[in-house]
Structure 1
């Protein structure tokens, strides 16, 4: 908005079809009150043809105080009352003065007492006692003196009225601004502006507010204005994007104001111009049916300055509303809007409705390999195709990153219908790209559930689908929510357990079966609640990994394990190797190596005594990155083992390309050595593979003498398992070590 909002252009408008030009100057109203007809005639003759402050005079006549009272009650804006003192009674005029000031509250009207019998009303006493503005003897009022008296009274009335109008106008502006600033949105504000402006000028609310897009594609004859608010006869049936072609006068004034980019006015209307920095200029057309006086123009300027603040607030509210309910990238409704639509569907009890969440599989790879611009373009292509192919009664939303939401009839949102639409290749900057999607479905049945909870349930189904198998769809069940709730409670409990030291490390010995010597220990995290309940690792470790809590927990494990092994070495003078499990989430963390080096520096142990155990899933990460991390670990002197070998990643080529030190045979393969004659095949293959690659091999989960003998026969001499010891707390481990022969 410009600093000076209301600057009227020169009145050279070419607007046609205006009413005939008349003397539209408002006359000064002067009421002559006297019971003598001759006085009326003389006054009329004395003031005939004269103008006062460039405006004509309008004489009103009353022949008694009672008649004058009726005129005063029915006629507004009487400037001067020429009042006789003696009429029905000796003090009828003086009594009327009291009524004018006290009962009618006409404080601005100038009262000039005229008397032909001065003795009945001494001048000094009257002026002191009554609120009058002048006192004249009828015999002294020549034409010149009458003109001077009336002119002086009118000038006084004009100045007082101007001040009063300004004061009241400013009060109205303050009140109006307070009222307008509470309105939400541009459309609501626009209606309020017309109402408040009409009240300020004391005119009927006949007007409209329009916006015009600043473009160079239209001539003046083709100017398009969109009405956002209108009142009175200008109120059309619809306010949305109307071309103003039904009222030539209004259109002409709007076009002129737009071309001059200034406010304009004529004797019957005005157009106020509000330039916009965002490209949508605002115009306020007001049908005033009379010229504006100078005071009103000044008030308009103040009023419009306040409007600019309100408009800024309304624009901010509109933008916030848009941000709150629409996705700016795809120009479709967002998650909040979806929740509101679901609430409305529930309220209207529309049957057979479903919500489907559609997640684009491996979308992050598009961003990583082709760039975020390609990722954004793919999202636009998906949104556009859904809009083009789905029926109108299926609503489309962007719920989050690469997840879309559909809300519509169940038969139109089935997985087969959606796949039919999305499996066709997309033209991504000239290249064909085929995508697959994973879908979570919730059928709207429970009328007592909110839109937010509906989305939550659909998201539970989507997460289950992504966990089970990508590219498929899963429909929500209550069992899924119960499981999710249990996981949430478990996560909350795990956070609390970490904060309150309910977690501890247990150590399982690793033994050389040829000599019985303890070569090392594996550190295993355990959780025992304050009530004594044990929570198994297969329950809480996946929760910790999926939530990211594994990062601080993993750091705590490393710190605790290194401190304990340092203590054992000093206490028992044994060089034990410590095996510490590293989660794939830890391995991927950007600060992993820095954290690792800090821990190695903190505890002055020989690095070769430290072995970090990772699962085969690490090999599925970026090969170069994994190789670099392993190299840094080996440079420190520490070792790296592959835990649960043979149960995960099927391609063994990573064993040659990545630098590992030891293979750990999973317990599931060791268990089969007892039940099948062929149960040794896989352990034998792993042992031979380790020999060929010059890697050490250790068997996990060894529980029986028979397993020991079979492993000896296969030349696997390092084992850990219940045959020797279960995982033990540090104090139990100390007792176990003390009871072992040297």
Structure 2
């Protein structure tokens, strides 16, 4: 009399079983009629009167119980699969039937089955009151129920049952559509969305179906072919996600999915269904392995559902394209810098699996020359060729990314990611269109440690190693070490502090007098920059000047030094110390500043200083860095009247041709050569420099003169001037004034 095979939301019609009339049927084709009466004769009469009745091409299947309690148990189990309940009012109690009707509607919330009340004692349940209070189709006394009246009542009730069932199924279906569509709208990945489509459709029609969602790759995937791929799957098909449809084990599925996309319409077959999903430029086919034909009601529900899902399908594809643009390199289709950092985040947190993991950055040397010389198309071809070789070499063993214009990132075991293997990639030349080019590269490596690390930090450490490798003249790779980062951090802290102190006007200019070697009269001074520390000391210029040049701050500092020097020179003129010159050092970043020449002219003019009182000192390394820029700037300033000296002469690798082009006035003999002067020993280099200066018609000045024999030797060679501790140390301006006054006496 009972079964566990009923779905609460599903209408089930089952045939009578010849061996057991009470058994609940398991096939389509009948209306379930529940007869509830404590009189066995009523059961027999009812069955006999209606046994041959056919309604809407279905026969009647009778289920018999003899009490209200039994009826409620069965109704709770079978629910809406019962079409009609022929219900006696008076059974174990005078209102047993009314109790069944009330509990069925109010407590069990079973609304579809139609109730026909029957009573042999009408006084216990007045007809008018019962009709008002209970959702029943008819109320008859048992004496009224002749065959013709019973047939009429049954037919009318079945029609009512069909209408109510259809309305409720549509309502439930629409609720599912709304809920399913809302769930799908939360999915942002194509894979999850497509899996959701299969799952929600299966839920919508009340089945546990397996299925796949397929589309052409070009419209939704990062692939350039036009093959059909499985975007999402459920059930037995899950293993085929992101694979070509043709790889599926079923030729039938391949055939009908292709047909669906070609015909652009649904395909309904007895054991499967293929649904066509379309919105704007996006289309897909949903194959469902259902097992039987979909009903007309379910087809209508699916039509409504698919129209809602189509918008979501378009949105999720647009989101996918946006995400691809945000996290994929447009040229190589590799993960870009943002996605590579996300990948590093993942491996940086994987404590157990990263004992030998390495991050590497590959920087193609002189890549800009390829773009400039052969064009950007050739440059792009080179990048694609490098990408292809990386992918072919490492396959799935290493994760790849394009970090910058010509920088690639790798994540993987050190067995694969090491200098030897990566260097092998660049032995053979690369094909770029019609060009075949050899490439060289620099590599930065970072081994993952046992502690959790963020992706951005791992990338920073790899980049530190790469920058060190690019500066290394002997080898083209470096492994990150903590001290590298400490040096970088120290440099950044120093630059930050230097910037702050310069803005707070804490930097100072000291001045070291320069003398005529013959008369030892003061002829000028060199302005020397000093950076005082909080403990009363000074940061060496050898330390902070390169930092200022590296950061670009030297342009502002250099302008301030020149202005301060001119101001102090004007102050000396007012104090009666006229005719002195001021030597000011100039670095390469200043020459690169397009406003440099005009700035020098403006500062000198504003302080009313004669241009020939200012001498700009440059080093040989500055000349050789970008000689054309330096030569042109100095020639213009020379025309303005400024003097030019070359500092530390002899320590660099000067080209004599450029030296001849420079508008020089003076050569400074470096202190390292002056220190070689000692009694009885020949200072060959010093002699050569002084002789060269004389030949070129230039004055010479020796710096770092600390001993009398050094001064005498330089004078004997024909050197014109000198500066050094023998004559005076660098000093602040106030002390310089005192020194000059004392020297006049």
State the distance in 1 between where 2:502 and 2:245 align: 64
State the distance in 1 between where 2:488 and 2:621 align: 25
Deviation at 1:254, TM superposition (A): 0.9
Give the TM-score, by structure 2 length: 0.78
Spell out the pairing of 1:102-141 with structure 2 (5 A cutoff).
Answer: 102-113=106-117, 118-132=122-136, 139=144, 141=149
Match of 2:621 in 1: 617
Measured at CA, do residues 201 and 728 of structure 1 come closer, stay the same or move farther in structure 2, by a change above 3 Å? farther
Match of 2:591 in 1: 587
Out of 159-168 and 646-655, give the one that drifted further: 159-168
State the distance in 2 between where 1:414 and 1:297 align: 57
Which of 168, 174, 183 matches 1:166? 174
Match of 2:163 in 1: 155
Deviation at 1:156, TM superposition (A): 4.2
Deviation at 1:550, TM superposition (A): 3.2
Deviation at 1:266, TM superposition (A): 4.8
Match of 1:546 in 2: 550
**1:356-409, Cα deviation, whole Å (9 max, x unpaired):** 655444444444444444444444445555666689867766565545566777
Match of 2:705 in 1: 702
Match of 1:657 in 2: 661
Give the TM-score, by structure 1 length: 0.78
Match of 1:294 in 2: 300
Measured at CA, do residues 309 and 367 of structure 1 come closer, stay the same or move farther in structure 2, by a change above 3 Å? closer
Match of 2:4 in 1: none
State the distance in 1 between where 2:29 and 2:651 align: 99
Say whether 1:246 aligns with 2:249: yes
Match of 2:510 in 1: 506
Measured at CA, do residues 79 and 676 of structure 1 come closer, stay the same or move farther in structure 2, by a change above 3 Å? farther
Out of 383-392 and 77-86, give the one that drifted further: 383-392
**1:147-187, Cα deviation, whole Å (9 max, x unpaired):** 4454345434433442343235424443x247x43xx7433
**SS of equivalent residue, structure 1 residue 75:** helix
Spell out the pairing of 1:39-54 with structure 2 (5 A cutoff).
Answer: 40-41=46-47, 44=50, 48-50=54-56
Measured at CA, do residues 551 and 128 of structure 1 come closer, stay the same or move farther in structure 2, by a change above 3 Å? farther
Match of 2:13 in 1: none
**1:248-303, Cα deviation, whole Å (9 max, x unpaired):** 442233112211345554565443445588x9854322234323242443134224
Measured at CA, do residues 449 and 295 of structure 1 come closer, stay the same or move farther in structure 2, by a change above 3 Å? closer
State the distance in 1 between where 2:404 and 2:726 align: 51
State the distance in 2 between where 1:133 and 1:575 align: 125
Spell out the pairing of 1:535-614 with structure 2 (5 A cutoff).
Answer: 535-570=539-574, 574=578, 576-590=580-594, 592=596, 599=603, 603-614=607-618
Which of 518, 537, 544 matches 1:533? 537
Spell out the pairing of 1:424-463 with structure 2 (5 A cutoff).
Answer: 424-426=428-430, 430=434, 433-439=437-443, 444=447, 447-448=450-451, 450=453, 460=464, 462-463=466-467
Match of 1:718 in 2: 721
State the distance in 1 between where 2:716 and 2:690 align: 11
Say whether 1:199 aligns with 2:207: no
Aligned residues: 698
Which of 179, 183, 190 matches 2:194? 190
Deviation at 1:234, TM superposition (A): 3.8
Which of 285, 288, 293 matches 2:287? 285
State the distance in 2 between where 1:571 and 1:738 align: 10
**1:656-695, Cα deviation, whole Å (9 max, x unpaired):** 334444433322222223467331x434433444444454
Deviation at 1:448, TM superposition (A): 4.4
Match of 1:305 in 2: 311
Match of 1:422 in 2: 426
Match of 1:3 in 2: none
State the distance in 2 between where 1:431 and 1:248 align: 45
State the distance in 1 between where 2:136 and 2:545 align: 95
Contact kept in structure 2, 1:355 and 1:405, CA below 8 Å: yes
Match of 1:260 in 2: 263
Contact kept in structure 1, 2:210 and 2:289, CA below 8 Å: yes
Measured at CA, do residues 267 and 461 of structure 1 come closer, stay the same or move farther in structure 2, by a change above 3 Å? closer
**SS of equivalent residue, structure 1 residue 490:** helix
Deviation at 1:42, TM superposition (A): 8.1
Deviation at 1:243, TM superposition (A): 1.9
Contact kept in structure 1, 2:89 and 2:125, CA below 8 Å: no
Say whether 1:212 aligns with 2:212: no
State the distance in 1 between where 2:274 and 2:666 align: 85
Contact kept in structure 1, 2:184 and 2:196, CA below 8 Å: no
State the distance in 1 between where 2:512 and 2:587 align: 19
**SS of equivalent residue, structure 1 residue 77:** helix
Measured at CA, do residues 367 and 614 of structure 1 come closer, stay the same or move farther in structure 2, by a change above 3 Å? farther
**1:291-344, Cα deviation, whole Å (9 max, x unpaired):** 324244313422443454345445545665x53xx7953748876478469759
State the distance in 2 between where 1:446 and 1:132 align: 76
State the distance in 2 between where 1:137 and 1:570 align: 134
Contact kept in structure 2, 1:361 and 1:471, CA below 8 Å: no
**SS of equivalent residue, structure 2 residue 728:** coil
State the distance in 2 between where 1:267 and 1:281 align: 24
**SS of equivalent residue, structure 1 residue 524:** strand
Deviation at 1:653, TM superposition (A): 0.9
State the distance in 1 between where 2:608 and 2:266 align: 82
State the distance in 2 between where 1:378 and 1:509 align: 58
Deviation at 1:29, TM superposition (A): 6.2
Contact kept in structure 1, 2:611 and 2:640, CA below 8 Å: yes
State the distance in 2 between where 1:345 and 1:49 align: 67
Match of 1:14 in 2: none
User: RMSD between aligned alpha carbons?
Assistant: 4.5
State the distance in 1 between where 2:478 and 2:618 align: 32
Spell out the pairing of 1:12-411 with structure 2 (5 A cutoff).
Answer: 33=36, 36-37=42-43, 40-41=46-47, 44=50, 48-50=54-56, 61-64=63-66, 65-78=68-81, 80-88=83-91, 89-113=93-117, 118-132=122-136, 139=144, 141=149, 147-148=155-156, 150-152=158-160, 154-174=162-182, 176-177=183-184, 180-181=186-187, 185-214=189-218, 224-236=227-239, 240-241=243-244, 243-244=246-247, 246-266=249-269, 269-274=272-277, 282-288=284-290, 289=292, 290-291=294-295, 292-313=298-319, 316-317=322-323, 320=326, 322-323=327-328, 328-329=331-332, 331=334, 336=341, 339=344, 343=348, 347-348=352-353, 358-385=362-389, 400-403=404-407
State the distance in 2 between where 1:697 and 1:422 align: 51
Contact kept in structure 1, 2:615 and 2:645, CA below 8 Å: yes
